[in-house]
């Protein structure tokens, strides 16, 4: 069954997404394609998920990112309860695929994992599509922008570009990478994760992680000073209300649980979160492109100050 899933990936043509043709810059076009109807909501193990993966793989190749080993695709499987409300219900095996590449740094002994999940929640029983423009086509578009930046500006350390599958419902892709590090890759010493960078009625975005790694505060503050949107550190301190602590709520949670420092960039939950209204048309391009710029600058500064943020 796993082999069949891999064959599906290579057999599917990348969708035309004709409405996205000619959009600029690249990150805006990437967001448009990944959140288009052709992807059918990108549910793990679905045809639409495979289409999104094929697009990401093509973009990484176009940008110049190299695979780790022979392939960008890193398949894995996991079991889950068929009825998610009852852990004792019969279980099913899910086959998923992470997409992972590397940009070589001057120091190849350690790596920064820059991550975003590409899966989403699929369709309603009536066939309406959860296109997930903000969650998380926006994060994947930022991930690709970071890759473009480091290809043009070689990093100090290896940059692992990781597009995770199966984040929805358990951070499965991130947990797989942490439990089974990618063979041939330098050890991950820091995680920069993007999840929901596209929609904020208040024009603000949050950086979670400095509570756990105080050396991140000056980096976030320096980026915030020049940003055209409001960037602030927060949503990472345990205060008794789990909604106010995002530490474990996206893929960075798997790295944090393993003792790897992280910075998570994302917006607050909003009225389109996990709704069919989370469409490309709801994204404010000025906000999104500013958020992408913030993501790229954070990546650059973390690479430059890796010793400080890893307490090495």
Per-residue pLDDT of 26-56, as tens digits, reads 999 999 999 999 999 999 999 999 999 999 9
252: number of Cβ within 10 Å = 31
Largest CA distance in the chain: 53
- CATH number where 117 lies: 3.40.630.10
Which of 98, 67, 83, 76 minimizes the C-alpha distance to 163?
Answer: 98
| Total of domains in the chain | 1
Range of the domain at 91: 2-309
Closest C-alpha among 185, 135, 137, 180 to residue 160: 185
Number of H helices, E strands in the chain: 9, 9
For residues 193 and 116, the answer to whether their CB atoms sit within 8 Å is yes
pTM (2 d.p.): 0.93
Task: Band the pLDDT of 312: cuts 50, 70, 90.
Answer: low
Predicted local distance difference test score (pLDDT) of residue 84: 66
pLDDT in tens, 56-106: 999 999 999 999 989 999 999 999 887 767 878 898 999 999 999 999 999
Tell the burial category of 149 from Cβ atoms under 10 Å away from its Cβ (0-12, 13-18, 19+): buried
Q: What are the tens digits of pLDDT across the range 261-300?
A: 999 999 999 889 989 999 999 999 999 999 999 999 999 9
pLDDT at res. 1:
30
Report which DSSP code applies to 134. Answer: I
DSSP per residue, 244-271 = G--TTSSTHHHHHHTT--EEEEEPPP-T
CB 169 within 8 A of CB 75: no
pLDDT confidence bin for 120, thresholds 50/70/90: very high
């Amino acid at each position: 069954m796993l082999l069949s899933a891999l064959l599906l990936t290579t057999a599917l043509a990348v969708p035309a997404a004709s409405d996205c043709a000619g959009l600029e810059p690249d990150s805006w076009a990437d967001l448009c394609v990944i959140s288009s109807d052709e992807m059918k909501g990108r549910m793990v193990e679905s045809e639409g998920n495979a289409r999104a993966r094929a697009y990401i793989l093509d973009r990484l190749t176009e940008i110049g990112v190299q695979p780790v080993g022979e392939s960008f695709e890193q398949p894995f499987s996991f079991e889950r309860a068929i009825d998610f409300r009852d852990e004792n219900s019969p279980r099913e095996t899910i086959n998923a695929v992470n997409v992972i590449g590397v940009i070589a740094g001057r120091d190849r002994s350690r790596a920064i994992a820059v991550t975003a999940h590409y899966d989403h929640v699929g369709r309603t029983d009536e066939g309406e599509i959860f296109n997930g423009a903000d969650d998380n086509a926006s994060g994947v578009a930022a991930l690709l922008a970071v890759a473009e930046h480091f290809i043009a500006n070689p990093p100090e350390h290896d940059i692992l570009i990781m597009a995770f599958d199966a984040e929805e419902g358990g951070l499965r892709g991130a947990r797989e990478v942490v439990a089974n590090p990618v063979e041939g890759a330098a050890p991950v010493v820091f995680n920069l994760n993007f999840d929901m960078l596209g929609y904020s009625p208040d024009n603000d975005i949050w950086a979670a992680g400095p509570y756990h790694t105080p050396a991140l505060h000056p980096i976030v503050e320096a980026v915030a000073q020049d940003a055209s949107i409001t960037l602030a550190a927060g949503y990472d301190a345990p205060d008794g209300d789990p909604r106010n602590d995002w530490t474990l709520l996206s893929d960075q949670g798997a790295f944090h649980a393993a003792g790897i420092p992280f910075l998570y960039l994302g917006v607050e939950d909003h009225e389109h979160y996990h709704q069919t209204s989370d469409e490309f048309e709801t994204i404010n391009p000025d906000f999104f492109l500013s958020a992408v710029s913030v993501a790229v600058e954070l990546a650059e500064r973390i690479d430059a100050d890796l010793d400080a943020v890893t307490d090495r």
